[in-house]
Chain A
Amino acid sequence: SQQGEEDPQALSIQEGENATMNCSYKTSINNLQWYRQNSGRGLVHLILIRSNEREKHSGRLRVTLDTSKKSSSLLITASRAADTASYFCATDRGSNYQLIWGAGTKLIIKP
């Protein structure tokens, strides 16, 4: 069953603009992860945020977590063409090894 659900399903913005993607989940979690997948490639880990954290930064990436709303957001600032990819959230749903994945947001950065 799908735990995380990303929205929007697709997002197209101009280079230089900020991109925001959201992830909602249904059950309590210990942590939430965001991954990027370029076309035809495997997934690359971006950020892990734990349930007791509200915000994390990594370069141009900012992730927030609101456990009361069971939602997370990924913000990419000053987007670049190379950010074009699909972005997935994954939650642990209380398991220490199994991740449950959303269907992803497809992000297109127009030059």
Chain B
Amino acid sequence: GAGVSQSPSNKVTEKGKDVELRCDPISGHTALYWYRQSLGQGLEFLIYFQGNSAPDKSGLPSDRFSAERTGGSVSTLTIQRTQQEDSAVYLCASSLDVRGAEQPQHFGDGTRLSIL
């Protein structure tokens, strides 16, 4: 079956531009996560969506970051006025239900974002 799909796989943009990153989770998975991974580092939690509940945005590093999830499926992470420190791999994961820490999370291959 289809896994988690992310697009684009690579994005190079100039400082100050806005970018949109897309995640298509596994069909039927109600929980969706966005993480950021800097070179050689672990994953930094950004935001969590669960069904129709209010998302947990506690990991977003600044108000330039926002995310939405339409119809409980596809999610978009938007970074406005990009800065060089935003350069990283942005990973999306989904899990079957709300207990995402008690079951496997399924990851996409990420979007590698480079800010010039």
**In the assembly, what is the distance between CA of A102 and CA of B43, in Å?**
8
B:28-62 near A, CB below 8 Å: 31, 35, 40-45, 48, 50, 56
> Cβ of B100 < 8 Å from any Cβ of A?
yes
Is the beta-carbon distance between A103 and B109 smaller than 8 angstroms? no
Interface of chain B: mostly helix, strand, loop or mixed: loop
- Give the residues in chain A near B43, CB-CB below 8 Å: 43, 88, 90, 99, 101
Indicate the size class of the contact surface on chain A: 20 to 34
Least distance between A40 CB and chain B CB atoms (Å): 7
Decide yes or no whether A98 CB sits under 8 A from chain B: yes
Q: Is A44 an interface residue (CB 8 A)?
A: yes
Q: Please determine whether B91 and A42 come into contact, CB atoms closer than 8 angstroms.
A: yes
Chain A CB within 8 A of B25 CB: no
Is the Cβ of B104 less than 8 Å from the Cβ of A33?
yes
Q: How many residues of B contact A (CB 8 A)?
A: 27
Interface flag for B65 (CB, 8 Å): no
Say whether A99 contacts B108, CB under 8 Å: no
Nearest CB in chain A to that of B41: its residue: A103
Q: State A40–B44 Cα separation when bound (angstroms).
A: 17
B104 touches A98 (CB 8 A): no
Interface majority SS (helix, strand, loop, mixed), chain A: loop
Interface contact A45-B105, CB-CB below 8 Å:
yes
A42 engages B101 (CB within 8 Å):
no
| Nearest CB in chain A: distance from B21 CB, A | 14
- Measured CB to CB, the closest approach of chain B to A97, in angstroms, equals 4
Determine the chain B residues whose CB is within 8 A of the CB of A90 once the complex forms.
43
Q: Indicate which residue in B93, B98, B108 contacts A96 across the interface (CB closer than 8 Å).
A: B98
Among all A-B residue pairs, the 3 with the closest Cβ atoms: A42-B107, A92-B101, A45-B104
Measured CB to CB, the residues of B under 8 A from A are 4, 31, 35, 40-45, 48, 50, 56, 91, 93, 98-110
What are 7 A-B contacts with C-beta separation under 8 Å?
Answer: A92-B102, A97-B101, A99-B43, A101-B42, A101-B43, A101-B44, A103-B40
